[in-house]
Chain A
């Protein structure tokens, strides 16, 4: 190649920042250099088609830059990269645009939440979304904002739910066609969950649903008395979208009060469920409840992972799910049919499924007067951190907590709902000794939901998982290690101590032909590439 041609190629590679059409978001495989949605695609596979970093070259990864958030909150955001510009969130709700090569700032948008904004579990944000030339973020005071992607100027701001009613938005919005879709957190406070869609250009509301049906709606009868009003079922992680069925999928959180079901008898629909909604209207097409009448806080707010796989001999459109309740699932995402379910860690609260996929409970594995050890722990076999599916290895990868439990002890009397939304039970975590629990990156075969390999860690993990077309898996844990594994075998290829807990999912992008991988640890964003 002549120098002139090479120069031209380099020039083209430094591509112009074009409008992010929905078609681009829907087809990330056409532009592997970018990362245009929370989990890299609306199928949430968190799989990068980039191939420069391989199982052979990963040992040559080296630090390129660090960007440090001026925030002491946990850094849970996954970055978005559009044509060399990286968008991230400085918790709780400042948006920052950085040069993806140098980590140097283009602009910062600062947002001050209303003083009444309250969250149960950290003033965090899991990322932004992009469409057109706008950047979208949900806020702790339950607003949705649109910013100019080039300048960071606020273009519109819409209140999604009332801040004073303890609603908040912590997850990255989900873009579907010309809409921005968000859900509300606050379930632990009893705030009745909402999913709502807004016109991306104007911020005008298009539809909204409640995750707990109101009187007269199917499912309302699964709540005793008036408990549906304060039943929680928040939505605090991104959704998935399937263009063929035009369904958007969201996982819902636990029912409230969290650890005490005495005042909310019944299955408590649609808590701990996945909802399949018509993306244009919000109409509920199907649902599957992972944990009926949950008293252990088994949120189902993991991101739904969609895959088109050959499943037991025939092509099938499935949804893969490793749940906080310790069970992994294969569902038919067109119909919601339960295809397969199996524990992926030690589980003692259920011992099988009925033909429709309802878990069969083990008696006594609920809060009792004497205290009952329930496994997995109240923090879950996995939590919200995003998993990965590699279409190359056909494996489903989960950051999991193995062999953990919580002793649930029932309170003397059920508290009035709303006064103590977490419940009257007391919890004793069983995480203290190494043999009692540990973190693991676990590779599951969707055909059987059996594990193919494990990469155990000394401590538990809040880290998400990224896989790449170089067959490299990236993840990290609470100890602050960021590491690369062979996605086929789980063998350790490379590691670095980042000195802060990893609370997010890694992602990968490239600029001018160089592949980068980025992860947040502590309050910093760390970016690596192969040594040149």
Chain B
């Protein structure tokens, strides 16, 4: 789950006209609801319905937060927008989420080119050294085959520029050191009181007894920041490519 940074929350507090101050957790919750209940029609970026771009604050009918809450609860008759059974608080959290996204979008993004982005992904960026798309690339990093369905452009951009800022629970890196000094690093799959399971840097499923280890713990993400490696245009290109990755095999 993508956490909204404190900066966004501050921005929200000063620019949004929410009736109450939502916390970062509220906004996160709103995002969760949006992705599970709204994104099927509106899209992850909220721009899949003609004339509506929820992620940029463009609405057909609504002006105020109260308008939006009403639409979320009652739907819009004779359109595809159904009524929901959301409470005022739940609907307000979705609105807070939408406002936060819109707020963070202001300032204008560079328009990317997906084809150039793919070339960067495969070439200069060496992304496949850690990431898998379809049947190609490594399994060590998060699989990106469906990332376009899971993440919005701004979130992907943040991951490229500041990969440590927010790492999903399923993507955490772990390092263990055996008593003989052998270190193993990998993506953590499971951890409990006595054992650790990971996919190591050689793409092997590994299991360790903690009692056999000299040391174990979370490690920094091996994902480098591309802030200095790619320019703004190239970042936008890669993001444009990533949002096209929507393998629907599992759908």
Contacts and interface: CB of A to CB of B under 8 A. Distances in A.
A9 interface: no
A205 interface: no
A104 B195 contact: yes
A154 B250 contact: yes
Interface in A6-31: 7, 16-17
A150 B249 contact: no
Given A104-B190, A104-B192, A105-B190, A153 B143 contact: yes
Of B194, B197, B205, chain A has the most CB atoms within 10 Å of the CB of B205
Contacts of B203: 150
Contacts of B189: 105-107
B249 A155 contact: yes
A150 B202 CA distance: 11
B127 to A, nearest CB: 17
A307 interface: no
Given A102-B195, A104-B195, A153 B145 contact: yes
B139 interface: yes
Interface string B212-236: 0000000000000000000000000
Contacts of B209: 102
A150 B207 contact: no
Nearest to A107: B189
B249 A105 contact: no
Contact of B205 (A97, A155, A156): A97
Contacts of A157: 249-250
Contact of A16 (B190, B204, B207): B204
Interface in B127-141: 135, 139
Contact of A150 (B190, B192, B194, B199): B199
Contacts of B192: 104
A17 B205 contact: yes
> Chain B interface: which size bin?
20 to 34
Of B135, B139, B203, B204, chain A has the most CB atoms within 10 Å of the CB of B204
B173 to A, nearest CB: 16
Contacts of A154: 249-250
Given A150-B203, A153-B145, A154-B249, A104 B197 contact: yes
Contact of A17 (B195, B204, B250): B204
B205 A104 contact: no
A452 B145 CA distance: 57
Contact of B197 (A16, A106, A155, A156): A106
A106 B139 contact: no
> Chain A interface: which size bin?
20 to 34
Contacts of B139: 148, 150-151
Given A105-B189, A150-B203, A151-B143, A7 B195 contact: no
A106 B135 contact: no
Contacts of B143: 151, 153
A151 B199 contact: yes
A17 B199 CA distance: 11
Contacts, number: 51
A148 B205 CA distance: 12
Contacts of B204: 16-17
Interface string A153-166: 11111000000000
Contacts of A99: 195, 197, 205, 207
Contact of A105 (B145, B194, B197): B197
A498 interface: no
Contact of B180 (A7, A84, A156): A7
A333 to B, nearest CB: 37
A85 interface: yes
Nearest to A201: B135
Interface string B13-26: 00000000000000
A118 to B, nearest CB: 23
Nearest to B198: A106
A101 interface: yes
Interface in B84-111: none
Interface in B11-44: none
A85 B198 CA distance: 12
A154 B71 CA distance: 37
A173 to B, nearest CB: 18
A157 B205 CA distance: 24
A105 B145 CA distance: 23
Given A151-B139, A151-B143, A153-B145, A106 B205 contact: yes
A107 B249 CA distance: 19
A107 B202 CA distance: 17
A463 B249 CA distance: 36
A106 B249 contact: no
Interface string A137-157: 000000000001011011111
Contacts of B135: 155
A141 to B, nearest CB: 14
Nearest to B145: A153
A270 B209 CA distance: 53
B190 A106 contact: yes
Contacts of B145: 153
A104 B207 contact: yes
Of A99, A107, A154, chain B has the most CB atoms within 10 Å of the CB of A99
A114 to B, nearest CB: 13
A101 B205 contact: no
A99 B180 CA distance: 22
Nearest to B207: A99
A295 to B, nearest CB: 44
Contacts of A97: 205
A156 B199 contact: no
Contacts of A17: 204-205
A150 B190 CA distance: 14
A150 B192 CA distance: 20
A99 B199 CA distance: 12
Contacts of A7: 180
Of A85, A106, A148, chain B has the most CB atoms within 10 Å of the CB of A106
B243 to A, nearest CB: 19
A102 B199 CA distance: 16
20 contacts: A7-B180, A16-B202, A16-B204, A84-B207, A85-B205, A99-B207, A102-B194, A104-B195, A104-B197, A104-B207, A105-B189, A106-B205, A106-B207, A148-B139, A150-B199, A153-B143, A153-B145, A153-B250, A154-B249, A154-B250
Interface of A: 7, 16-17, 84-85, 97, 99, 101-102, 104-107, 148, 150-151, 153-157
Give the 3 A-B CB pairs with smallest separation, nearest first: A99-B207, A154-B250, A106-B205
Given A17-B204, A105-B197, A150-B199, 20 more contacts: A16-B202, A84-B205, A97-B205, A99-B195, A99-B197, A99-B205, A101-B207, A102-B195, A102-B207, A102-B209, A104-B207, A105-B189, A106-B190, A148-B139, A150-B203, A151-B143, A153-B143, A155-B249, A157-B249, A157-B250
